[in-house]
Structure 1
């Protein structure tokens, strides 16, 4: 936890999880078992995606895992991509792989997620794994929602009996984290309200929340007057906003008006350094589980 007890330090918590994963990988190597291998597929030149994949690659090496990246040009056809996915599905050396989103518009993301072998779906995006998650059965949980739940648990935020309001109903964050927080057991047992663009009287709903998770894709969307005193606020958004006065020519902002909401929240995640590191370490965790199942 950060020295400021209000701030939930995702980087510190992710680093602790990395140490746990690295110890398990080292134990595998000591027994003569190959290190887990995570592959990533990226199509096109999206800057944020390139940065994210590089971060995943670096994180893999930091815990002793093997990684490989398949970089395909923007004009790659669906058939060419599916041929690669078929190869990755059949390659026994690959324990898990991810296809970095977003994909170019001419490629159907739904078809792509359906083409990934569920036992290698360490992003937890395939319909098979999503179905298992809905039923509360063992599966690869989506990395960002899993990271959020782990962040709450490890920072001492109780969810049992609490009212959690989730802003955003995407299949990547909002919908799965709502399911996970409402499930029976530690890290769940919350009463969850899932809000979206058609929700009426949004501020009235958020003001009743004990925990607010914001994954709406709009910079500085959640304002202080939408948050009750003492609520916990988790910011999933990350935006690069042009700012000529900044050293890099831009600033990083989340979906939460951090400076103002900080004043009323009991705990809050920063951007960067909150949810982002947890997403990456969750991917490493899933890859380790995939490798252990195979071996």
Structure 2
């Protein structure tokens, strides 16, 4: 904790300090003690009540990484050196205190989305419509099968019917195309989901063209992809939309921020980049997408205000690749073998990154629950349009 000069948002009169926000005033004090904080609001001033047993308030300034000001009565600071006087007018705070990142808990946010989705499903069922999702997967990978099973379980929990098609990875590609076309033509199915990545030999462009645009849950069809790129998505892809919802739930705005996405997959990286680039009332972010051939990846990740790791490389990103106070979103989950069996890890080395970040998503429990909740929500949206 250190003393620094005040920022210009405060009114200084002689040796007294007054702070006014929306008609509320913090009484004037003689000294001001500043402490960095990660929990700031963007674009306006706010005041935070004092913790139990303390007598001071915490006014929060406008733009991160602006510090939180902890204002102490003169009785608490009377013995402080005179050079730390409240009439000084400074700029920035530096502190030697370690900061831990706030956890962006996707489970709690996803629970609220599911609760609202259940109410919409009940309304559809009362109108004799049962939301139905068709899933098509062509894989032998245990992790992919597990993630698909989680989607099916989530649908069943909220009352969405599921029509699954699971094909071995070495099955003829025509079986995949036929399954997608059959689901798209069925009058009983509202939404179609295709598990990616697809095995070699399956043409991604043909898969995209086979999905009916009105049932396309992830903007795969060229028509829906074009609307996404054009800034007018028919629906927000589940993972990309879930990430934006999670950031919004924690008051983290990407407006005007540098967002670096590590990974250019058609499932996460590219859709997220297009959503972030939308003009107001969209996110209005400055977006950099990194990939296998990106030179000097560390230099680019250190420029990020918000870093999204979505490349499927376990623990690729560590604390040395970040600038202080970066918001870190880990959008991957990979099953890795350990001495005791296996564990699920993300693209981010959690421990080294958490010590440096402003906020971070855990794996599991961060983006994963948001993806599932957004998927359920998208099924309902498409079902309501068809009802």
Q: TM-score, with normalisation over the residues of structure 2?
A: 0.71
Unaligned runs of 5+ in 1: none
SS in 2 for 1:76: coil
SS in 1 for 2:377: helix
Q: Which moves more between the two structures, 200-209 or 147-156?
A: 200-209
Q: 1-side partners of 2:297 and 2:384: how far apart?
A: 44
Q: 2-side partners of 1:185 and 1:164: how far apart?
A: 16
SS in 2 for 1:221: coil
1:13 to 106, 109, 114: 109
Q: 1-side partners of 2:252 and 2:375: how far apart?
A: 22
Please identify which structure carries the higher helix content: 1
1:279 match: 371
Q: 1-side partners of 2:107 and 2:274: how far apart?
A: 25
1:217 is aligned to 2:312: yes
1:260 is aligned to 2:260: no
SS in 2 for 1:252: strand
Q: Structure 1 residues 201, 80: CA separation in 2 closer, same or farther (over 3 Å shift)?
A: closer
| Count of residues in Structure 1 that have an aligned counterpart in Structure 2 | 288
2:240 match: 145
SS in 2 for 1:176: helix
Q: 2-side partners of 1:264 and 1:222: how far apart?
A: 12
1:190 is aligned to 2:285: yes
Superposition CA RMSD, Å: 1.7
Higher RCO (Cα < 8 Å, 6 or more apart): 1
Q: Contact conserved, 1:13 with 1:151, CA < 8 A, in 2?
A: yes
Q: Which has the larger radius of gyration?
A: 2
Please identify which structure carries the higher strand content: 2
1:161 is aligned to 2:253: no
- The offset of 1:186, in angstroms, is 4.7
SS in 1 for 2:243: helix
The equivalences for 1:91-240 within 5 A come to 91-186=186-281, 188-240=283-335
The equivalences for 1:21-36 within 5 A come to 21-30=117-126, 32-36=127-131
Q: Which moves more between the two structures, 252-261 or 130-139?
A: 130-139
2:155 match: 60
- Segments of 4+ in structure 1 off by > 6 A? none
SS in 2 for 1:177: helix
- The offset of 1:287, in angstroms, is 1.0
SS in 2 for 1:113: helix
- The offset of 1:75, in angstroms, is 4.1
Q: 2-side partners of 1:187 and 1:258: how far apart?
A: 30
- The offset of 1:126, in angstroms, is 1.8
